[in-house]
Amino acid sequence: MPDSPIIEVVDLVRRFADRTVINDISFRIDRGETLVIMGGSGCGKSTLLRHIIGSMKPTSGSVKIFGEEITTMNEREIARIRGRFGMLFQSGALLASLTVGENVALPLVQHTKMSDDEIEEIVEQKLQMVGLTGFENLKPAEISGGMKKRVGLARALALDPELLFSDEPTSGLDPIMTAVVDQLTLKLTREAGMTAVVVTHDMTSAFRIATRMIMLGHGDIIAQGTPEEIRTSPNAEVQQFINGEADGPIPLNLSQDEHEHHRHVKPRPCVAARGRFHLKTS
Amino acid sequence: MAPIRIRFAIEGTFRFCRFASLVILRLRHDHVLKNYLQLNLNLLYWIFVAPFTGQFFDISQIFRQMVFIGVRATPMVALTAFSVGVTLAMQAAHSLQQLGAEIYVPDLVMVTLLREMGPVLIAVIVIGRSGSAVAAELGTMKVSEEIEALEVMAINPVQYLVVPRFLAMLVMLPALTIMGNYVGVFGGWAVCHFALNFNTAGYVLRALQSADTWDLYSGMIKSAVFAWIVITIACNAGLRVEGGAEGVGQATTASVVQALLAMLVTNAVLTGIFFFGG
């Protein structure tokens, strides 16, 4: 079924109290694509991801994943869908009480009826893919942040998912490991036909792996298209973001003036901190 | 006379209804209680219903948790129970000596331990040691996205984390209570033997004669109920943590305080039902 999209988001809106975090977003992702979602911190990227994987319910709109509507599903149906995709969390989100090997084995133990030998073999193979052979018996607390992230990737890939979500897969990795992880994503998507949705700030890696890109800002899609279209986009916000410039049309909340209208309730962090930590004042 | 009574009755009923409606209105907005009841229902589902649909919980996890929650607490429980047994015997001896009735010291130690002191004090120790540890552990997992990761891997956190802890606690708290009762009675024996010149056979005989099997069973039922209360409150507090390390600390404190209060109130209610209800 090459025509049916893996993910289809239509008119997605999410409001928290009086703040609109996602404002009427629609897009679709086809099989084998690698979609990169970009945008400044706090622009709703993670919230969007959480809606797609079904852990948050939208205010209105629809999210179809593998052709099935996930917003109206009960927990059991969501669990069935989740068995078909993997997700890499920003911090890795490894279980601290299990070793690295046990973490990677967890989805296999829980969702398959494989023998221990088969599971061990898969664990070894997945850890090898992310360059962590021989780390099976360490606890997550004993390895670095970048390693945790790679173990998280190995765990997300343990069940050979059709779809992979990555929340900042390369932040905190050194340039060489970033390239390794990117190549792994490329290999899985281009050769094995996996679909990937990647949220990232890392422009080098984004242009390396993307087949399509979306840029979010203030809850809206500012721009979308192929990497080439994004690179040559006339939109000033896009250009500022991909070139990493401090000056430009994207508001940064750096100046005092923006808070002027509620100056009378302006918090005074130093005073609060002094009270809390008993700083010496004299 | 009669009309006044009726007026009191009507007024009392009216006040009660108003109070009850206020409580219900408040609880409807209070997600804490709703969440807690939801957790209990979920728990029952994963223990009694899900295994029949082929979703078994992990037996080995239960044994692991039994070691953490129960086995590691035995020294503390033994020390507490021994001290309580000694204290009870000393106070009983002091009072009963004035009546020339030291012979009843074993009765008092035995019955008090089995009915009240054993279940309650050991629950207190377990709340302070294991309940707070569970709340802090689950809270830390929540804060570091581990719970969310489990959900995204289609592993239900209640099934994977709460059920093993619940079953372990349900087995271990009554088991610890039985052990504590033994140690407490041993403490009573120490006082009687060394200070009051009881012979061992006499102490054992009196202690056994005084206690009914119902005294033991009521204590066991109590500690099973306490186990339920303690572990569900601890797990609920842990799973609802928000706001980083500070949140974990607050949830741990809250779980200990809530569990203690709920346990003591339940104990009063159960004592009323068991010994003064019929």
Of A70, A26, A67, nearest in space to A50 by CA: A70
Condensed to tens digits (0 to 9), the pLDDT of residues A229-258 reads 888 888 888 888 888 887 777 766 554 444
Domain span at residue B269 reads 57-276
B240 has a pLDDT exceeding 70 = yes
Q: Is the ipTM of this complex over 0.95?
A: no
pLDDT attached to residue A258: 47
pLDDT at B91 over 60: yes
Name the β-bridge partners of A12.
A25
User: Least CB-CB distance to B154: which of A83, A97, A155?
Assistant: A83
Whether residue A93 and residue B149 make contact (CB cut-off 8 A), yes or no, is: yes
Q: Is B61 on the interface with A (CB under 8 A)?
A: no
pLDDT of A1 strictly over 60: no
Closest to A141 measured CA to CA, from A92, A74, A79, A212 = A92
Average pLDDT, chain A: 82
Instruction: With beta carbons less than 8 A apart as the criterion, state whether A87 and A96 touch.
Output: no
| B150 and A CB contact within 8 Å | yes
CA B155 vs CA A55, A108, B240, B247: distances in Å: 13, 11, 18, 24
Per-residue pLDDT of B209-238, as tens digits, reads 888 888 899 999 999 999 999 999 999 999
pLDDT in tens, B155-206: 889 989 999 999 999 999 999 999 999 999 999 999 999 988 888 898 988 8
Kindly list the residues of chain A whose beta carbon comes within 8 Å of any beta carbon in chain B. Answer: 53, 55, 75, 79-80, 82-83, 87, 89-91, 93-97, 106-107, 110-111, 155
Stretch B61-70: mean pLDDT: 91
Cα distance from B152 to chain A (closest Cα, Å)? 6
Which has more confidence, B189 or B28? Answer: B189
More confident site: B27 or B111: B111
Is residue B210 less than 8 Å (CB to CB) from chain A? no
Residue B259 covered by a domain: yes
Q: Letter for the amino acid at A115?
A: S
Question: What integer is the mean pLDDT of B91-95?
Answer: 90
Confidence band, pLDDT 50/70/90 cuts, at residue A4 = confident
Q: Which of A75, A110, A197, A276 to mutate to test the interface with B (most CBs of B within 10 A)?
A: A110
pLDDT of residue B231: 95
| pLDDT grade for B135, boundaries at 50, 70 and 90 | very high
* Within a domain: B216: yes
Q: What is the pLDDT of residue B126?
A: 94
Give contacts of A90 with chain B, Cβ < 8 Å: 145
- Does the beta-carbon distance from B148 to A93 stay under 8 Å? yes
* Chain B CB contacts of A155 below 8 Å: 153
Pairing of strands A163-167, A195-199: parallel
Regarding predicted confidence, which is higher, B17 or B53? B53
**pLDDT > 90: what percent of chain A?**
6
Dihedrals phi, psi of A62, to nearest 5 degrees = -135, 145
The answer to whether position B256 is within a domain reads yes
Using an 8 Å Cβ cutoff, are A44 and A216 in contact?
Answer: yes
CB contact under 8 A, A87 and B141: no
Q: Please report, as a single letter, which amino acid is at residue B241.
A: V
Any idea how long chain A is?
282
Work out whether strand A68-69 and strand A195-199 pair parallel, antiparallel, or are unpaired.
Answer: unpaired
Residue B7 lies in a domain: no
Q: Are strands A212-217 and A34-38 parallel, antiparallel or unpaired?
A: parallel
Rounded to the nearest 5°, which phi and psi values hold at B201? -60, -40
Among A77-81, A124-128, B227-231, name the one with the lowest average pLDDT: A77-81
CA A14, CA A52: separation in Å to the nearest integer?
12
Strands A163-167 and A85-88: parallel
What is residue B121's predicted lDDT score, i.e. its pLDDT? 94
Asked if residue B136 lies in contact with residue B255, where contact means CB atoms within 8 angstroms, the answer is: no
Mean pLDDT throughout B150-159? 88
- Number of domains forming the structure of chain B: 1
Residue among B144, B148, B154 whose CB faces A79 most closely: B154
Q: What confidence score (pLDDT) does residue A282 get?
A: 47
Both tokens assigned to B244:
């980083």
Q: Is the pLDDT of residue A262 over 70?
A: no
Report yes or no on B4 lying in a domain.
no
How far does CA A242 lie from the centroid of its chain?
18
- For residue A106, the chain B residues in CB contact (below 8 A) are 153, 155
**CA-based nearest distance A83→chain B, Å:** 6
HEC assignment per residue over chain A: CCCCCCEEEEEEEEEECCEEEEEEEEEEECCCCEEEEECCCCCCHHHHHHHHCCCCCCCEEEEEECCEECCCCCHHHHHHHHCCEEEECCCCCCCCCCCHHHHHHHHHHHHCCCCHHHHHHHHHHHHHHCCCCCCCCCCHHHCCHHHHHHHHHHHHCCCCCCEEEEECCCCCCCHHHHHHHHHHHHHHHHHCCCEEEEECCCHHHHHHHCCEEEEEECCEEEEEECHHHHHCCCCHHHHHHHHCCCCCCCCCCCCCHHHHHHHHHCCCHHHHHHHHHCCCCC
Walk me through the domains of chain A, giving residue ranges and CATH numbers: 7-84+161-277 (3.40.50.300)
Residue B48 covered by a domain? no
Q: What was the pLDDT predicted at B29?
A: 56
Average pLDDT for A138-162: 88
* Cβ atoms A9, A27 nearer than 8 A: yes
Q: Are B169 and B263 in contact (CB under 8 A)?
A: no
Q: Per the domain annotation, does B38 fall within a domain?
A: no
Distance from CA of B75 to the nearest CA of A (A): 24
- pLDDT higher at A262 or A225: A225
In a domain, B39, yes or no: no
* CB A158 within 8 Å of CB A108: yes
Q: Span B61-83, mean pLDDT?
A: 92
